[in-house]
Amino acid sequence: MSAGAQPGTGTAQKNLKIWWILGVLATAQLMVVLDATIVNIALPTAQKDLDIPTDDRQWMITAYSLAFGGLLIIGGRIGDRIGRRTTFLIGVAGFAAASALGGLAPTYEVLIAARAIQGAFGALMAPAALSLLTVTFEGSPARPKAFGIWGATSGAGGAIGLLLGGFLTEYFSWRWCLLVNLVFAVIAFVGALTLLPKTLPDRNVKVGPLSAILIAGGLFSIVYGLSHAETDGWSDPATIALLVVGLVLVAAFLVVQGKIRDPLLPLRVISDRIRGGSLTAILFTGAGIFGVFLFLTYFLQDTLSYSAMETGLAFLPMVVFLAATSSLTGSQLLPRFGPRNLIVLGMFVGALSLVLMTRFNAGTAYFPDVVGPLVIAGIGAGLIFASALGTATLGLLDEDAGVGSSLVSTAQQVGGSIGVALLSTQAASAGSRHLKDLMESLRLTRPTPELASEATLAGYHAAFWWSAGIFVLGAIICVFLIPGGRVKLTERGNAAEAA
């Protein structure tokens, strides 16, 4: 009887192990995602401590974004080349070392260099983590639930970064916003050494120098151009030049991939409509969700005078509902209704939350005025992330798992950069126009503090309206791009087909 129980015991142990693997990989993913926002709240304190010029403080964020966004696809292919477990371990160790360097930085220059190094190792770690998750749950009936949890981690990471950043800045030091990564990194590294099976390198995978230069240069130019637009406007010659050069390089990269024998990004990875549509949804959600993260943070701190800690705690309802919705979507709703219905619904729900935020004013109360839209935003984001992340890597060939996973992070990173740049410029121009109109109507030559506050609020409203528009546009595109019906969420090897 004991002999007969052994196979069942082995299966149970294997099933438990893959959930522990998910926990390790999700810890690393959380570290990467929250690092995009955790330093936001710490910026003013770090600026004062290291005597950073106001015009340069944004490089704390930009340096990370440039390295991370520019190297993601290369990082994904390196994972396919040298082995995903090895790549993951290198990425985690390098990210931890860069975090320690940044947390202990004696000067502004060292801090910026550390943030860039963080981004570079993050570009190795993030695709490796998702590709390891993909192959771990390949063919498993637990795959939808696993990706629901992954979606919750990816979607809530930005809000968790704000919460954690506020707590660490207020009660400890801004430096702990970087040093806290050492805790996550130790858990991820030890867990990976213990649990992850060794993955063999694929020597047939090539990382051609021409392809690498084209895509790294293209993504670098696009992300930098978007960052430049945030500070200098869309009509600035440097902004235009960077964006044009970036788009030309990416287009040239895609042309080259279709002609060479060993492409860095095989076009079969993005030609599938389900995967392509899911990546599009991630791109639009990354752009639209920053209307919640960025400008709601500004509103809470500047208009309602919340502290850093209070601001972080204010996002907690969104995190809770995003995580709950994402888990439910991945395990129950996605297999039943298919990705298109849930992604489109989630985008309209997200748009609704942002429309409600356009009613915010100086007398807005947290309960229920702020909590309501945040809960709705969490539900919408949970529907989108669980559905899109659950199908963006579906059906990838094993040798494409790394580069296919890198596209997910690329879409989220580029989408976030587009959102920050677009919403920041629109908010600034709307606020300036509103202030000018008020001053003209009252025949004033100088703005009063009250008028300036009203103009700032008008800028926030404009950003919320634009974010809502991004979600609606994304929903319309996804209706036509993603096939309807259910998909085979446990299918191996080839691209998934709509059922």
Count up the domains in the chain and report the number: 2
Q: What pLDDT does 490 receive?
A: 56
* Domain boundary, last residue among 263, 284, 309: 263
Tell me the residue type at 263: P
Do 286 and 328 lie in a common domain?
A: yes
The verdict on whether omega for the bond into residue 368 sits within 30 degrees of 0, i.e. cis, is yes
Do 237 and 158 lie in a common domain?
A: no
Contact predicate 128/273, CB 8 Å: no
Do 368 and 238 lie in a common domain?
A: no
Q: Give me the domain span that covers residue 311.
A: 2-207+264-481
* 498 backbone dihedrals φ, ψ, rounded to 5°: -65, 140
Do 146 and 19 lie in a common domain?
A: yes
* Any domain includes 492: no
* Any domain includes 490: no
Q: State the pTM of this model.
A: 0.88
**Tokens at residue 295, please?**
């400008």
* Any domain includes 495: no
Q: What pLDDT does 495 receive?
A: 43
* 229 backbone dihedrals φ, ψ, rounded to 5°: -65, -35
Do 189 and 223 lie in a common domain?
A: no
Do 67 and 140 lie in a common domain?
A: yes
Do 388 and 294 lie in a common domain?
A: yes
Q: How many CA atoms lie within 13 A of 271 on its CB side?
A: 8
Kindly state the greatest CA–CA separation across the chain.
93
* Any domain includes 307: yes
Instruction: Tell which residue, 147, 128, 127, 129, has the closest CA to residue 137.
Output: 147
* Any domain includes 493: no
Do 228 and 195 lie in a common domain?
A: no
Do 257 and 134 lie in a common domain?
A: no
Q: What pLDDT does 9 receive?
A: 58
Residues facing residue 264 across a β-bridge? none
Instruction: Tell which residue, 408, 306, 318, has the closest CA to residue 33.
Output: 408
Do 238 and 330 lie in a common domain?
A: no
Residue 487 in 3-state DSSP?
strand
Helix axes 84-103, 2-34, angle to 10 degrees: 40
Residue 444 in 3-state DSSP?
coil
* Any domain includes 347: yes
* Domain boundary, last residue among 224, 240, 263: 263
Contact predicate 242/235, CB 8 Å: no
Local confidence pLDDT in tens for the 499 residues of the chain: 444 445 555 566 667 889 999 999 999 989 988 887 788 777 778 888 998 886 677 788 888 888 998 898 999 889 888 888 999 999 999 999 999 999 999 999 999 999 999 999 999 999 999 999 988 888 788 888 888 888 888 888 888 888 888 888 888 898 999 999 999 999 999 999 999 988 777 777 777 889 999 999 999 899 888 888 877 888 899 999 999 999 999 999 999 998 888 888 888 888 888 999 999 999 999 999 877 888 898 899 889 998 878 888 899 999 899 989 998 998 889 988 989 999 999 999 999 999 999 999 999 999 999 999 999 999 999 999 999 988 888 888 777 888 888 898 889 888 888 888 889 889 988 999 999 988 988 888 888 888 989 999 999 999 999 999 999 999 999 999 999 877 766 554 444 444 4
* Any domain includes 124: yes
Residue corresponding to tokens 């970064």: 161
Do 175 and 312 lie in a common domain?
A: yes
Tell me the residue type at 334: L
Give the burial class of 443: count Cβ atoms within 10 A of its Cβ; 0-12 exposed, 13-18 middle, 19 or more buried.
Answer: exposed
Do 199 and 224 lie in a common domain?
A: no
* Any domain includes 496: no
